[in-house]
Structure 1
Amino acid sequence: MNFEKYPFEKLNELLENIEPNKDFEASVLTIGEPKFETPDFIQRQLASTTSLLQKYPASAGLPELKEAMINFVVNRFNVPLNMNQIIPTFGTREVLFNFPQFALFDKKDPVIAFTNPFYQIYEGAAIASRAEVIHINLTKENNFKAFLSDEELKKCDLVILNYPNNPTSAEMTKEELAVWVKKALEFDFILVNDECYSEIYFDEKDRPSSLLEASIQAGNEKFKNILVMNSISKRSSAPGLRSGFIAGDEEILKEYMKYRTYIGCASPLPLQKAATVAWNESTHVEKFRKTYKRNFELAKEILGINPPKATFYIWLEVDDELEFTKKLYKEKNIKVLPGSFLGREGMGKGYVRIALVENEKKTQEVLKRLKGFLDG
């Protein structure tokens, strides 16, 4: 298999011969990893359950963990699920990689479509599945919203959307997602939405919708052909817990669960116990949202940008994203990620992705440094 280098490896190569300005503290704004302490109540639960390391975890996950995830979905999206409509996963990276291989295995000439620019695991899954790829190109002209023609959709076996979107921070409304649900039924393809940023929003009226909500609105209450994936990593500042889920079409998940028993990625029981209390609690999430909101208020004050409604990314338009990245690192000791490293067919060119995942004080300092660079 011939995989592309990961964006961060490309970035290291781009910057390897550049000496950054040592007058400034190094600031890394490249990776979507929250830089906040995982809440104490989650850490305490993890520490108190280490004796369970003596047991093998079941691939299906603890019943109480599944119940906590179901509670999250019903409380957040008002969508009730049964125990057969959700599977706990070891984060979402692994399921985003292996689910396409499962879903496309029996297809003679499989075709997968996904948003472009993208989280590179989508492309990796396509390569591992030997699938033809159709890129759903996201541009300023289409407001970074996903669209494919009926002719393209007829070819698809699997489509992966990602809203709220990484890296563009774009959203799609429930009504817009419902159109996709109807297309999935009409052309009989599996439709997935990667919803890992659904909980990083800044106003109740702008709460991102789930594809599950859209499925119900479209009259597809059994979620036929519809799946979502979500994770605790951004929501609870706990990427190390590796707690995610896939939920939706019960018939697909029944067969996928059989597949999962073979791939050996069951989460250790102490992690599942800690994840259970995290999924069941929401006040800590609101505290993180307030911090991210303040970071974007600072970005508006200092840089004059319009904050997104969700995610913690700035998708900043620049003249030449590679030269911008190199010069910013050299002059201000700030690392950002060139958008072209996240896309294909020219998508992402002319943009850099900036992750605002630090506390208010650090964010304010680095944004002022960035402003000084932009003002030249």
Structure 2
Amino acid sequence: MNPRLARLQPYPFERLAGLLAGAVPPADRAPISLGVGEPQHPAPDCARQAIVDNLDGFSRYPATRGEAGLRETIADWLTRRFGLADCPPDPDTQILPVAGTREALFAFAQTVVAGPDARVALPNPGYQIYEGAALLAGAEPLYLPCRADNGFRPDLDAVTAAQWRQCELVYLCSPGNPSGAVLDADYLARALALAERHDFLLAADECYSEIYFDEQAPPPGLLEVAARQGNDRFQRCVVFHSLSKRSNLPGLRSGFVAGDADVLRQFLRYRTYHGATLGPPVQAASRAAWSDETHVLANRDAYRAKLDAVLPILAPVLDVTRPAGSFYLWPALPEQVAGGDDETFIRALFEQENLRAVPGRYLGREAGGSNPGNGRLRLSLVAGVPECIEAAHRIVRVAERLGA
């Protein structure tokens, strides 16, 4: 067996299953899950119909680089969304469809990490795929703490010059999982300057980029910032986007990577062997989804309604703030509630109210003497508005029983 497999941490939901083992929820409470970040809003009709209209495509092998029509649709969307009219991405060299961002984020590290002493920097807390990708590529993870005093942004100042020199890849996520923090243009410009100075790549996970709450200020993207600085070839920049969150299509497994043509040429070569291609009906549905913004606006409205309903309920018992993006809440437990222990509180939620959520520590790592996720909860507002409201009331009841 690959000895690096032994270094992989249990996935958060595996740890959650262990935490809840033996607990019996009350029979008079219908189960509600705020655990998995799986969108529950309806899939757009245009994507459904596109699959039906293209079922014959299942009889053909798909090309690894995807159909030209899909790449052109993606390039058009990127150009509109991120103001790239002066340097639109080339569909032939700077766009590559992928089977969802999860597999691409993982595979990317296997392609680009080269040195035996390589470091891969990643947010802490953050999406566990970044860490697994680094470890299985033979690199050491370099954890960038995301703390409240830094706006939950990965702390670039926590890295020494010597560590940056070893760094070959940096994962960023904006809006962030689990905090919903948005990396502004100044932050992205600084990260790009570091990449140029120390010669590493930036992998920007932007799969939550279309879930934000100020319609006048959509989150900036890495390609957008690179273009503003004159980097119109997007050197050292690769962005990852998905239809899972934007369009409520997690089961479609459809996304794309875009950016530096030299890097994507090598990634395409890797993927020719890796084999994660999109079937023609999936590509047709993807074209339809990327071409429609009506359902995306409705999606944001639905998440905005949940925040408006839930935050006033939770505010008296949790230290919770309104996120700039994503569909997560990342509240801190007050010390008087279960001693501020996130595992104790999450198990009590299940035992007393039949509600699932994730302890914050499961999304973080102990680094520099602390785990930035300790004492926090990740609440995924993916259920309907009534269920989210009911879940908030259940959280309040448990908090009051445990000392609020």
TM over 0.5: yes
Aligned to 1:219: 230
- 2:347 counterpart of 1:326: yes
Given that 1:302 and 1:367 are in contact with CA atoms closer than 8 Å, whether structure 2 keeps it comes out as yes
- 2:318 counterpart of 1:290: no
- 2:292 counterpart of 1:281: yes
Given that 2:98 and 2:278 are in contact with CA atoms closer than 8 Å, whether structure 1 keeps it comes out as yes
Structure 2 CA distance for partners of 1:140 and 1:332, relative to 1, 3 Å: same
Show the 5 A alignment for 1:89-104: 89-104=98-113
| Aligned residue among 274, 284, 292 for 1:263 | 274
How many residue pairs match? The answer is: 375
In structure 1, the gaps of 5 or more residues are none
| Aligned residue among 310, 327, 334 for 1:312 | 327
- SS for the counterpart of 2:308 is helix
Structure 1 residue 150 displacement after superposition: 4.8
d(CA) in 2 for partners of 1:154, 1:219: 24
Aligned to 1:33: 38
d(CA) in 2 for partners of 1:360, 1:154: 48
Structure 1 residue 255 displacement after superposition: 1.6
d(CA) in 2 for partners of 1:119, 1:145: 14
Per-residue CA shift, 1:44-65, capped at 9, x if unaligned?
A: 1111211111100000001111
Per-residue CA shift, 1:116-167, capped at 9, x if unaligned?
A: 1111111111121111111011111222112333513222111111111001
d(CA) in 2 for partners of 1:324, 1:72: 43
d(CA) in 2 for partners of 1:189, 1:42: 37
Aligned to 1:60: 65
**Counterpart of 1:95 in structure 2: which amino acid?**
A
Aligned to 2:83: 78
Given that 2:321 and 2:331 are in contact with CA atoms closer than 8 Å, whether structure 1 keeps it comes out as no
d(CA) in 1 for partners of 2:385, 2:153: 30
Of 364-373 and 5-14, more deviation after overlay is shown by 364-373
Show the 5 A alignment for 1:227-266: 227-266=238-277
d(CA) in 2 for partners of 1:268, 1:147: 40
Given that 2:349 and 2:394 are in contact with CA atoms closer than 8 Å, whether structure 1 keeps it comes out as no
Structure 1 residue 375 displacement after superposition: 2.8
Per-residue CA shift, 1:22-78, capped at 9, x if unaligned?
A: 221101101111112212221111112111111000000011111111121111111
d(CA) in 1 for partners of 2:354, 2:47: 34
d(CA) in 2 for partners of 1:200, 1:40: 19
Given that 2:111 and 2:266 are in contact with CA atoms closer than 8 Å, whether structure 1 keeps it comes out as no
Of 301-310 and 94-103, more deviation after overlay is shown by 301-310
Given that 1:181 and 1:218 are in contact with CA atoms closer than 8 Å, whether structure 2 keeps it comes out as no
- SS for the counterpart of 2:244 is coil
d(CA) in 1 for partners of 2:346, 2:210: 29
Structure 1 residue 203 displacement after superposition: 1.4
| Aligned residue among 127, 133, 142 for 2:150 | 142
Given that 2:117 and 2:166 are in contact with CA atoms closer than 8 Å, whether structure 1 keeps it comes out as no
Given that 1:206 and 1:309 are in contact with CA atoms closer than 8 Å, whether structure 2 keeps it comes out as no
Given that 2:33 and 2:383 are in contact with CA atoms closer than 8 Å, whether structure 1 keeps it comes out as no
**Counterpart of 1:133 in structure 2: which amino acid?**
P
**Counterpart of 2:201 in structure 1: which amino acid?**
I
- 2:203 counterpart of 1:192: yes
d(CA) in 1 for partners of 2:352, 2:130: 34
Structure 1 residue 307 displacement after superposition: 1.6
In structure 2, the gaps of 5 or more residues are 334-339
Of 107-116 and 316-325, more deviation after overlay is shown by 107-116
d(CA) in 1 for partners of 2:290, 2:129: 24
Give the percent of matched residue pairs that are identical in Structure 1 and Structure 2. 37
Given that 1:182 and 1:218 are in contact with CA atoms closer than 8 Å, whether structure 2 keeps it comes out as no
Given that 1:116 and 1:137 are in contact with CA atoms closer than 8 Å, whether structure 2 keeps it comes out as yes
- SS for the counterpart of 1:157 is strand
Structure 1 residue 109 displacement after superposition: 2.0
Structure 1 residue 108 displacement after superposition: 3.0
d(CA) in 1 for partners of 2:193, 2:73: 29
Q: TM-score, normalised to structure 2's length?
A: 0.91
Structure 1 residue 306 displacement after superposition: 3.0
d(CA) in 2 for partners of 1:204, 1:281: 17
Given that 1:89 and 1:245 are in contact with CA atoms closer than 8 Å, whether structure 2 keeps it comes out as yes
**Counterpart of 1:257 in structure 2: which amino acid?**
L
Given that 1:178 and 1:217 are in contact with CA atoms closer than 8 Å, whether structure 2 keeps it comes out as no
Q: TM-score, normalised to structure 1's length?
A: 0.97
Given that 1:116 and 1:136 are in contact with CA atoms closer than 8 Å, whether structure 2 keeps it comes out as yes
d(CA) in 1 for partners of 2:324, 2:363: 21
Structure 2 CA distance for partners of 1:269 and 1:245, relative to 1, 3 Å: same
Given that 2:346 and 2:356 are in contact with CA atoms closer than 8 Å, whether structure 1 keeps it comes out as yes
| Aligned residue among 339, 352, 361 for 2:360 | 339
Aligned to 2:130: 122
**Counterpart of 2:127 in structure 1: which amino acid?**
Y
Aligned to 1:17: 22
